[in-house]
Amino acid sequence: MKPNEILLNTLLTNQDRIMISDEEIGDEHIGTSVETPMRSDAFELSDDEKIAQIEYHFRQIMETLGLDLTDDSLKGTPKRVAKMYIKEIFSGLDPKNKPAVALFDNKYQYNEMLVEKNISFYSNCEHHFVPIMGKAHVAYIANGKVVGLSKLNRIVQYFAKRPQVQERLTMQIARELQEVLGTEDVAVYIDAKHLCVSSRGIKDESSSTVTSYYGGKFQEAATRQEFLQAID
């Protein structure tokens, strides 16, 4: 195998294997796993230790670019970026930041679809580390238990705050909701704009990407159509 090449299973029905370079993976927005790829030692360092290391390395990047880090506007940038990575935009990598979700008895016996739509989120493309911005729409049909509405938003935000591909983000949100709610009857629909498409490469500023997941009763045409009409 040549350097910078990996083997991937294609999504074709014949499961042929193809050779594809790491550069092509980024341009084609290919994901290799439903789980976020993490090393086994990912959490051996404390947040403060990670911030210190990222600050050092980002300083090296800025200096390599020829920027003058003695300038008042730039000298604090490495630490600001490091803190932003750990405390904000990639905080969803750390399980300790996973939102606690309390379930409540469905005392009203509401057994119809519940939809939370237009959940704004910001993520980052794992291939180029540039923003993904969009809206998520989620729905479920209660199976004896319900969850506070804000928790649906928090679950979306948790999985968005990590390097992502949109297909994985969609699946991770859906699987978490199914596990938390104890039901397969979950739907997730995401419409997002990728700056790796609009600001580089093809530089298409008008397109967006749509991904969806339909579990349980949402696989039925009528239920799926009801959901799609609700988020339209």
Which domains are assigned to the chain? 1-32 (no CATH), 41-89 (1.10.286.10), 100-231 (3.30.1130.10)
Q: Which of 55, 137, 157, 194 is catalytic?
A: 194
Give the closest residue to 162 by CA, choosing from 207, 95, 80. Answer: 95
Q: What is the pLDDT of residues 154-200, one digit of tens each?
A: 999 999 999 999 999 999 999 999 999 999 999 999 999 999 887 77
- Active site annotation includes 166: yes
- Token duo for residue 25: 């993976």
- The separation between CA 178 and the C-alpha centre of its own chain, rounded to angstroms, equals 17
Average pLDDT in the chain? 88
Q: Which of 116, 128, 137, 176 is catalytic?
A: 128
The label of the residue with tokens 């991904």 reads 211
Q: Which of 126, 137, 157, 164 is catalytic?
A: 126
Give the closest residue to 176 by CA, choosing from 87, 95, 86, 85. Answer: 95
- Active site annotation includes 176: no
Please tell me the distance from the alpha carbon of residue 192 to that of residue 134, in angstroms, as a whole number: 4
- Token duo for residue 8: 């991937």
Q: Which of 55, 137, 157, 196 is catalytic?
A: 196
pTM of the entire structure? Answer: 0.85
Q: What is the pLDDT of residues 24-55, one digit of tens each?
A: 555 665 656 789 999 999 999 999 999 999 99
- Active site annotation includes 137: no
- The separation between CA 103 and the C-alpha centre of its own chain, rounded to angstroms, equals 24
Give the closest residue to 1 by CA, choosing from 15, 18, 14, 26. Answer: 18
Backbone angles phi, psi at 41, to 5 degrees: -100, 25
In this prediction, residue 33 carries a pLDDT of 77
In percent, the amount of the chain with pLDDT more than 70 equals 86
- Active site annotation includes 29: no
Contact 96, 72 (CB under 8 A): no
